[in-house]
């Protein structure tokens, strides 16, 4: 299987690249399980084939001896696997405990999952969507929650995964050991856009991280339409095209200035207020032929971002 993060760093073996300090521990345990399973497979299947051939029924020797049991054999084939399972249990516990011991004075980043994007909030007030940055060789703690349904935050290269649950915080800690760009997946089926609920984790030097964090307004120098386009790519493109083609929702090029027919039989011509309402409270008017699938974006966009989106959607209609 080709993992996206391999584009940035070569994998060391059959697993994705080891991008965190815990990854090596997980891979060792996984390697042990794989090796132990392979040896057991060879012993069991090899033994089966050997005995089938060696003790095949011969002419003139119809009856085999009547053997009831063998205490030594039965003890060994129970006790040896038991010891192996205990080793796997203890080893797994040890790695799990390491993984879930959150370091003190870690760099803390809040993560908010929603259908179908990830927001990252830094203590400096910086807020980014679907792409975030952490310094290399630094303990990081993600404090995570969801706006709607259960999502799950998974970084294959880091071997860490945690459910993200509405109404509570869950946490995930790691120390990134390699610089690069790593893929984040949502691994809890959360609806139509689940497979597109992706993010990038960029691991950089401490200096790069600090200068990135110090950067001010992310929209500086952008026109309102460009601000909207940026938001569109981050928040809307999972479900909407910028053309007239359908995706999960209607294409956005035929919204402004166009006749919109709704499920309740009403209709109107798309204007700024209609677009605004459809973003903040989309279930108010459901377009004919579409499911009421869009989550409300009330409270998730600044006025600048909202006006940007309105202007961007207007620009698509021209
Ligand atoms: Cu979020 Cu699947």
CA dihedral sign of residues 239, 188, 186, 164: positive
Q: What is the pLDDT of residues 228-278, one digit of tens each?
A: 888 888 888 888 998 888 888 888 888 888 888 888 888 888 888 888 888
Residue minimizing CA distance to atom 1 of ligand 1: 151
CB 117 within 8 A of CB 238: yes
CB 274 within 8 A of CB 290: no
Point out the ligand 1 atom lying closest to the alpha carbon of residue 195.
Answer: 2
Q: Is the pLDDT of residue 201 over 90?
A: yes
CA of 302 to the centre of ligand 1 (A): 24
Point out the ligand 1 atom lying closest to the alpha carbon of residue 151.
Answer: 1
Buried b (16+ CB within 10 A) or exposed e, 95-123: beeebeeeeeebebbbbbbbbbbbbbbbe
Distance CA 20, CA 125 (A): 26
Identify the band that residue 6 occupies on the pLDDT scale cut at 50, 70 and 90.
Answer: very low
Pull the structure tokens for residue 290.
């579409």
Identify the band that residue 151 occupies on the pLDDT scale cut at 50, 70 and 90.
Answer: very high
CA of 151 to the centre of ligand 1 (A): 4
CA of 163 to the centre of ligand 1 (A): 10
CA dihedral sign of residues 238, 170, 119, 207: negative
Within 13 Å, how many C-alpha atoms sit on residue 102's CB side?
Answer: 13
Point out the ligand 1 atom lying closest to the alpha carbon of residue 197.
Answer: 1
CB 259 within 8 A of CB 267: yes
pTM: 0.71
CA of 88 to the centre of ligand 1 (A): 31
Cα dist. 137→12, 18, 38, 134, 153 in Å? 19, 13, 35, 9, 21
Point out the ligand 1 atom lying closest to the alpha carbon of residue 116.
Answer: 1
Point out the ligand 1 atom lying closest to the alpha carbon of residue 187.
Answer: 2
The DSSP letter of residue 229 is H
In what helix (H) or strand (E) does residue 260 lie, and over which residues does it extend? strand 259-261
Please give the backbone phi and psi of residue 278, each rounded to the nearest 5 degrees, phi first: -70, -25
Reference 4, options 179, 185, 205, 145; nearest CA is: 185
Residues lining ligand 1, CB < 6 A?
A: 113, 151, 186, 188-190, 194, 197
CB 144 within 8 A of CB 110: yes
CB 84 within 8 A of CB 43: no
Q: What is the pLDDT of residues 57-105, one digit of tens each?
A: 877 777 777 888 899 999 999 999 999 999 999 999 999 999 888 888 8
CA of 314 to the centre of ligand 1 (A): 30
CB 158 within 8 A of CB 19: yes
Q: Which residue has the tokens 């989550």?
A: 295
CA of 64 to the centre of ligand 1 (A): 60
What was the pLDDT predicted at 140? 95
Q: Is the pLDDT of residue 4 over 80?
A: no
Please give the backbone phi and psi of residue 46, each rounded to the nearest 5 degrees, phi first: -60, -45
Highest mean pLDDT (candidates 115-124, 211-220, 230-239): 115-124
């Amino acid at each position: 299987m080709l993992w996206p993060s391999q584009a940035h760093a070569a994998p060391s073996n059959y697993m994705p690249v080891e991008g965190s300090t815990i990854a090596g521990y997980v891979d060792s345990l996984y390697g042990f399980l794989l090796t132990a399973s392979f040896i057991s497979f060879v012993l069991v299947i090899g033994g089966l084939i050997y005995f089938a051939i060696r003790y095949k029924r011969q002419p003139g020797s119809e009856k085999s001896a009547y053997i009831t049991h063998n205490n030594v054999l039965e003890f060994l084939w129970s006790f040896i696997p038991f010891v192996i399972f205990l080793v796997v249990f203890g080893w797994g516990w040890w790695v799990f405990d390491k993984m879930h011991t959150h370091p003190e004075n870690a760099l803390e980043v809040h993560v908010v999952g929603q259908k179908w994007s990830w927001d990252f909030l830094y203590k400096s007030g910086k807020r980014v969507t679907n792409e975030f940055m952490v310094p290399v060789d630094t303990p990081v703690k993600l404090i995570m929650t969801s706006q709607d349904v259960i999502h799950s935050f998974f970084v294959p290269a880091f071997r860490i995964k945690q459910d993200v649950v509405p109404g509570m915080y869950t946490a995930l800690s790691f120390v990134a050991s390699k610089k690069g760009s790593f893929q984040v997946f949502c691994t809890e089926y959360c609806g139509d856009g689940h497979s597109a609920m992706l993010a990038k984790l960029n691991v950089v030097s401490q200096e790069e991280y600090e200068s990135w964090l110090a950067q001010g307004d992310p929209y500086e120098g952008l026109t309102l339409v460009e601000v909207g386009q940026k938001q569109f790519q981050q928040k809307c493109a999972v479900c909407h095209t910028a053309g007239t083609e359908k995706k999960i929702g209607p294409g956005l090029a035929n919204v402004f200035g166009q006749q919109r027919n709704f499920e309740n039989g009403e209709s109107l011509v798309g204007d700024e207020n209609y677009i605004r309402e459809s973003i903040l409270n989309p279930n108010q008017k459901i377009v004919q032929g579409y499911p009421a699938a869009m989550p409300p974006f009330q409270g998730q966009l600044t006025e600048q971002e909202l006006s940007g989106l309105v202007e961007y959607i207007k620009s698509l209609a021209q």
